[in-house]
Structure 1
Amino acid sequence: MTDPQTDPTAPIDGLSHVHGPDEPPLQHITIPALLRQAVEQHGSREALVFTDAGIRMTYAELARKADELAAGLLELGVAKGDRVGIWSPNRCEWVLTQFATARIGAILVTINPAYRLAELEYALNKTGCKVLIAAESFKNSDYLGMIRELAPELAAGPLSPVRLPALRYAVVMAADTGPGVLSFETVQELGAGADTAELDTISAGLKPEEAINIQFTSGTTGLPKGATLTHFNIVNNARFVTDRIKLTEADRLLIPVPLYHCFGMVMGVLGAVSKGATMIFPGEAFEPGSVLEAAAAEHATALYGVPTMFVAMLQELDQNPRDIASLRTGIMAGAPCPIEIMHRVNRDMHMQEVTICYGMTETAPVSFQSFTTDPTEKRCTTVGRVHPHLEVKAVDAEGRTVPAGEQGELLVRGYSVMESYWDDPAATEAAQADGWMRTGDLATIDTEGFCSITGRIKDMIIRGGENIYPREIEEFMLRHPEVGDAQVFGVPDQRFGEQVCAWIVPATGASLTEDQILTHCRGQIAHFKVPHYVRIVAELPMTVTGKPQKFKMREAMVQQLALS
């Protein structure tokens, strides 16, 4: 366990350049090997609990169920290196798919449950998914209906759908899936009773440096990019994240954050497995009452969330008190934490040892994290100190490392940096140089090595912990025949931190309304990307060189809406 007193991660030579400690050592293992270790050491211990579904499994049962699914996928012709998409809220099938694909070296493509038709089509085609595993529906999203709309040919058998040419099978978590779509249970049954020798042979041939996960993260170029992560990336990051919160096999980790994101699948699932801890999932999506009920009933000791989730839980706790005194630690990430919220989480939720962390999908994800012993003020104003085996520096516009305390762009180098953006060498080259990953985030690193995020070079909006990239929404809006120009930016919001705002210039001769823009977006892009505010304008503020001035648009909206 890293001790901040014996291993201070202070800047080198007075510059904003820090090295993480060399202990504990990196593990050169794969995800199947990580799960095997957990089974050998904690096989009879409870591995996971899905409170809403009434599901409980030990580590031995989890491994057996994952093996059945892995064998079933082999029966469908899935092989090492093939891409398998998972499109679902937090369900037991998600976790089984995570370990089943890793067992046979298939690359898991995580798809945001909020994605709609256009986004799903792009993600599946960009990665060439051979199989898509999906929930039947979630909230107001009819997944099965959207799959059939994109790939009606599946009803005739494993053909190549015109719009999804790589897809061979759709597997849906439902008893009655209709023609051409397999049920999850059917695939599981295909592998039931299978000899694990073949699986063991495949797993033994996997290398930690091989890709095992693709997670989509949008970019300023518009379309989402597939950050390609290896076993080595995410296994070790999961270990170090849970080291910082002192997680052990005695802990019960409550995971209300989404599995499709690194927070859920890496920091949550793999982090718990690396320690033999119990994973508790309180529902398919975050609902404060359900989380608190699960914390009380399951005697959770650790809890993950973004600040807006903790605010909602504190409000729920005020209205309906629960006994959650078992809580001790956890992680708050995704956005800055107001100090008054931290004080209440420490006091009212008993999480004296909650930590803050910072990272990005491309770095698997965490680079900085506070220690449980750091002062509250440091845990609110900074994102902690650098993780083991990583090197981070802050540089100016010319790439020179800035003095400690001065602002610069964060660059990260080490074991956690992604392999590439899937099938996008130009974007990979633009993001990486000499092993350094450009984060696009502005930050300062103080003389003790604490890092504070001060801004974003990238024009990104953070709404309730969701990263939203304006260019992606702008390009989608420009598909509307009556839109001449579109500019999307964030405006302050008390609940979510920021809300999406769009200024639209109609095409020549067109007559657009705000409702037409919203109708164009709904059902096609994720709900959190749909603009909260839309304004139809005759022109945009521009620089003398013709570049839109978003800061002027933002200032005008703030004044118009009387926002602070």
Structure 2
Amino acid sequence: MSTIQNVIKLSDKTALVVPDLNLSITYNHLNAIVYHLQSMFNNPVSPLFNKGSKRQLKIATSMPNGLEFISSFLSITTTGNIISPLNPSLTKNEISNFLIDLQADAIIVPRYAHLKYNSDLILAIKEVVKPLIVEIWYDSARKLLQFEIFSNNNLTSIYNSIIDKPNIPPYDSNEHLIGSGAKDDIALILFTSGTTGKPKKVGLTHSNLTCSQLNIIRSYKLRSNDINYLIMPLFHIHGLQILFSSLSSNGCVIIPNKFSARKFYPDFKKYQFNWFSAVPTMHLILLNLNIPNDIKGKLRFMRSCSSALSPTILEKLENKFGCPVVEAYGMTEASHQVTSNNLPFHGKIKRMPGTVGIPQGSVEIMIINSNSSSTTTTIEKLEHDQIGEVAVSGDNLTLGYINNDDANRASFFTYLGKVFFKTGDLGTIDNEGRLTLKGRMKEIINRGGEKISPIEIDYILSSNDKIKEVVTFGAPDLKYGQIVQCALVLQDNVNGDENEFKNWLVGKIASFKIPDKFYIVKELPKSATGKIQRRTMSEIFSSKSKV
């Protein structure tokens, strides 16, 4: 367990490559940039210096991937403050709700954002009243990030890092990134997706984050000569931890401002990255992309996380790219990674497609009776291969939801002296410790008392050569309570209909699992991170009389 600044070692090695700015930043240069930005909090004339006479200021951000975001994250957390990254695509109401719930002291945005008076972002900030606006940009002449702070009510400038030169002590270099964050400080607050109503605030400490980063480094044997292509958004725990695991292992990160399938191969040719992590939707896009064969065998591995990847798609990816695809399992509450398959020829437990592997480091998992309450005396631990709810423990686990005692009582329990989190996922553990997920508890389909895993049906349908994407879900039904329905995206220039796919499933799964209705669509609705939100499918497709 450590702090964010102590796990990043300084050197003249390249840390970041930012294609959109045509910049390469060494670890020493990154440290200088962060040091300059820390004056936002350390300079006595800055409006954020000891604002409210308190530590742990809450700083929101609304920025795309890039140097500005990464440096802001580091300058905030290494001064003992808290960052809360927001999706730049949020609406006015969503932004204002998050800022109010967070009680944000400031929000960091791109340069000139304050001039867009009628944007959702500025209208939301002004409505909330409290947070200062901090604009940030790269100063190519000084090779630093500059910032300007604006008042919230009239958007006037009250501090400029170029004009109000920082009055801070001279910098003494050492082996690690400069900073004063403590291991038990909350470094990051992320909001859950709010599947049960209002989004919950997850607070993660320096120790939580660095523990998970170390587990990721161990899982994939990350080295200083690895080059990571970062395509996950940094307002999501997946992207954040892949970024900082690379930096903590002294690797190099290529960071485009967003995922672009057409730039994937040109960026590979230019930067020669050797691994990346993505959600299955991104992998599927790359699978269907016309990529020259000279990429085959050049990647060390590909990682898939955040939702289920079917074994059929995994096999196709490995055949196309000529490298192992490793599935992992993660969540915000556990600082991202919980389990992962091992790389081939690494570790005693062989990887197995369709599973999400084994835990690393201090992480522990167990399967409990899904009807268990959150009291020690009534927790029933299940045996190997029995289906139940996945529970997680470890140094990477959040201490709890912030200001939400009801959610904490429902989600956390103590077992044999250790605190565990009830994930809401159903799964099994085999006799070698591998975890296989069966779906979200609330997504399991109950058809007249028969419990059906939608993931099982997805996996089987994805092996049909005509099908590009698939999502199975439960829909309300007067007779059975729920029935099975499915939405499909077909491969290009391919035809198919409901009867064809129903007949194709006969003999492959039990008859009661065969979907009652198929929706054949051009694309599936996805979240901002590219995940298919199974729980919303019934509502979306039940409103369509014809598809």
The TM-score with structure 2 as length reference comes to 0.72
Q: Which amino acid aligns with 1:51?
A: P
Per the alignment, residue 340 of structure 1 pairs with 312
- Residue ranges of structure 1 left out of the alignment (5+ in a row): 1-27, 153-162, 471-488, 497-524, 534-549
Q: For residues 341-362 of structure 1, what are the alpha-carbon distances to aligned partners after superposition, in whole Å with 9 as ceiling and x for unaligned?
A: 222332322323x321102100
Aligned to 2:38: 70
Aligned-pair CA distance for 1:113: 2.3
The equivalent residue for 2:135 is 171
The correspondence for 2:224, drawn from 231, 246, 249, is: 249
Kindly indicate whether residue 401 of structure 2 is the aligned counterpart of residue 421 of structure 1: yes
Q: Which has the higher relative contact order, 1 or 2, with Cα contacts under 8 A spaced 6 or more apart? A: 1
- Equivalent residue, structure 2, for 1:149: 123
SS at match of 1:381: coil
Aligned to 2:109: 134
Residue 380 (structure 1) aligned with residue 353 (structure 2): yes
Deviations along 1:401-423, one digit per CA (max 9) or x if unpaired, are 11210100011111011122222
Change (3 A) 1:289 1:324: farther
Is 1:444 matched with 2:428? yes
Distance 1:184 1:55, change over 3 A: farther
Q: How does 1:35-184 map to 2 (within 5 A)?
A: 35=8, 38-39=9-10, 43-74=11-42, 75-79=46-50, 80-135=55-110, 145-152=119-126, 163-171=127-135, 173=137, 181=155
What's the counterpart of residue 327 of structure 1? 299
Q: Which residue of 2 aligns with 1:410?
A: 390
| SS of structure 2 residue aligned to 1:428 | helix
Match of 2:451 in 1: none
What is the identity, as a one-letter code, of the residue corresponding to 2:309?
A: C
Distance 1:189 1:209, change over 3 A: farther
* Residue 300 (structure 2) pairs with residue 316 (structure 1): no
Contact 1:83 1:107 in 2 (8 A): yes
Structure 2 vs 1, CA of residues 439 and 230 (structure 1 numbering), >3 Å: closer, same or farther? same
Checking the alignment, whether the CA contact within 8 Å between 2:134 and 2:149 is kept in structure 1 is: no
Deviations 1:33-70 (A, max 9, x none): 122xx11xxx1000001112212100000111011111
* TM superposition shift of 1:107: 0.3
**For 1:296, what is the secondary structure of its paired residue?**
helix
What is the CA–CA distance in structure 1 between the aligned matches of 2:68 and 2:95, rounded to whole Å?
Answer: 19
- Partner of 2:332 in structure 1? 361
**Alpha-carbon distance between aligned partners in 2 of 1:295 and 1:185, rounded to the nearest angstrom:** 41
Code of the residue aligned with 2:271 in structure 1: it is E
Q: Structure 2: state its 5+ residue gaps.
A: 139-146, 373-378, 445-453, 459-467, 475-482, 491-525
The residue aligned with 2:251 is: 277
Q: Which amino acid counterpart does residue 312 of structure 1 have in structure 2?
A: I
Q: Against the structure 1 CA distance between its residues 556 and 124, is the aligned structure 2 distance closer, same or farther, given a 3 Å change threshold?
A: closer
Change (3 A) 1:344 1:220: closer
Whole-angstrom distance in 1 between the partners of 2:163 and 2:6? 24
Q: Distance in 1 between matches of 2:273 and 2:487?
A: 31
3-state SS of paired residue (1:420): coil
CA–CA distance in structure 2, aligned partners of residues 58 and 436 of structure 1: 39
Answer yes or no: is the 8 Å Cα contact 1:255–1:279 preserved in 2.
yes
Q: Which amino acid is 2:103 matched to? A: G
Q: SS at the partner of 1:112?
A: coil
Equivalent residue for 2:439? Answer: 455
User: Is the alpha carbon distance of 1:250 and 1:143 closer, same or farther for their aligned partners in structure 2, counting shifts above 3 Å?
Assistant: farther
Aligned mates of 1:324, 1:183 — CA distance in 2: 52
Identity %: 19
Which has the higher mean CA deviation after the structures are superposed, 427-436 or 298-307? 427-436
SS in 2 for 1:243: helix
Hey, what's the Cα distance between the residues in 2 that align with 1:184 and 1:97? Answer: 19
Aligned residue in 1 for 2:381: 401
Quickly say closer, same or farther: Cα 1:216–1:272, change in 2 above 3 A.
same
After TM superposition, give the deviation of residue 195 of structure 1 in Å.
Answer: 2.7
Q: For 2:541 and 2:288, locate their aligned partners in 1 and report how far apart those are by CA, in whole Å.
A: 32
Q: Does 1:222 align with 2:197?
A: yes
TM-superposed CA distance for 1:188, in Å, is: 7.3
Change (3 A) 1:190 1:137: closer
SS in 2 for 1:356: strand
Structure 2 counterpart of 1:349, from 321, 336, 342: 321
- Please report how far the alpha carbon of residue 115 of structure 1 lies from its aligned counterpart in structure 2 after TM superposition: 1.4
- How far off its partner does 1:400 sit? 0.7
SS in 1 for 2:288: helix
Report the CA distance between 1:264 and its aligned residue: 1.1
Number of equivalences: 449
**Closer, same or farther in 2 for the Cα pair 1:133/1:392, shift >3 Å?**
same
Give the drift of 1:495.
5.4
Cα-to-partner distance string for 1:188-234 (whole Å, 9 max, x where unaligned): 7756684356999x977532122110011123431111110000001
Deviation at 1:183, TM superposition (A): 8.9
Partner of 2:215: 240
Residue type of the partner of 2:409? E
Q: Which has the higher helix share?
A: 1
* Aligned 8 A contact 1:134 1:173 in 2: no
What is residue 512 of structure 2 aligned with on the other side? none
2:341 pairs with 370, 375, 379, which one?
370
Q: Assess, with a 3 A threshold, how the Cα gap between structure 1 residues 101 and 177 changes in structure 2: closer, same or farther.
A: closer
Aligned partner (choices 431, 439, 444) of residue 411 of structure 2 = 431
Q: Which residue identity lines up with residue 7 of structure 2 in the other structure?
A: L
Alpha-carbon distance in 2 for matches of 1:46, 1:65:
14
Using the TM superposition, give the Cα deviation of residue 77 of structure 1 relative to its aligned residue in structure 2, in angstroms. 1.8
Name the SS of the counterpart of 1:380 in structure 2: coil
Preserved CA contact (<8 Å) 1:248 1:276: yes
1:167 offset after TM fit, Å? 1.1
Indicate the SS of the match to 1:421: coil
Conservation of the 8 A alpha-carbon contact between 1:339 and 1:377: no
Residue 133 of structure 2 aligns with an amino acid whose one-letter code is Y
1:538 maps to none
Q: C-alpha separation between the residues in 2 aligned to 1:67 and 1:187?
A: 12
